[in-house]
Amino acid sequence: MESYTMPNFPESMNTIHLALLRNVTNSPKIRRRLIEASKAMGEVGDKLREEVDFAFLEASMLVSRQHLLIAILNTLLSSLPSPDSSSPRTSTHNLHSELLLHLSPNNNITDSLRHHGLSDHTTSLLVVRLGSPGPSKEIWNKIEHVVRGQLVSLDELDRGEIADWHRVDKVYKLKELDTTLRKRGLDHGEVIEKKRGAIISSLAIKHIT
């Protein structure tokens, strides 16, 4: 599990906790829990929501660690609170859903949940917590209560075993680029590198398009 605390963001949103889990066995259950939490009212609802206050990302749609980090950074940057308020300015409910939306190539929230969020078939899951500084141990304890899976290093994202390129190409519309590059005679590794670059650039400019 990795945690970043950035001195250049307001304290309410300056910390990123990241945990990559593989061989996740209880995705359908987590998803049900998320839906329940969003429906519940009153104090009970608040408590349920607090327990699952994370972004649950489908890790097979993440092509590198950089992909994830750049998406997070630019989400935070574009959600900076206005001077007279302390809560992030987002177009969705909270920073976590904003991250999902930012990862998506278009501005459709349902699409972003479907493509980048947890599904019943998710086996590799990236759990993100954006917020104020706190000990990683506490965050991990919360994650552990929700997700059944094996915690692995984020380096696994860069090793290219997790990404489902077929789906990535489709969602980010990279088939044309793929064909162009292969025609040019680039080997598989190079093609992947270029596609990673293209994805990162298009994410980084998401909030100005």
Binding region for another protein (CB under 8 A): 1-9, 18, 64-66, 69-70, 73-74, 76-77, 80, 133, 135-137, 140, 144, 150-153, 155, 158-159, 174, 177, 180-181, 184-187, 189-190, 193-194, 197-198, 200-202, 204-205, 207-209
Cβ pair 24, 125 in contact under 8 A: yes
148 sits in the region (left: phi over 0; alpha: psi -120 to 50; else beta) called beta
Helices (H), 52-185: 65-78, 95-103, 109-116, 136-146, 155-158, 165-171, 175-183
Q: Give min distance, CB of 190 to another protein, in A.
A: 6
Query: Residue 117 carries which DSSP code?
Result: B
Cβ pair 49, 97 in contact under 8 A: no
Which CB, 37 or 143, lies closer to another protein? 143
Q: Give min distance, CB of 43 to another protein, in A.
A: 30
Which CB, 16 or 37, lies closer to another protein? 16
The three-state secondary structure class of 151 is: strand
Q: Give min distance, CB of 75 to another protein, in A.
A: 12
Q: Give min distance, CB of 44 to another protein, in A.
A: 29
- Give the position of tokens 């976590």: 96
Gap between the Cα atoms of 78 and 208, Å rounded: 9
Q: Give min distance, CB of 10 to another protein, in A.
A: 9
Which CB, 38 or 107, lies closer to another protein? 107
Which CB, 164 or 178, lies closer to another protein? 178
Which CB, 118 or 200, lies closer to another protein? 200
For the chain, helix, strand, coil in percent to 5 are 55, 15, 35
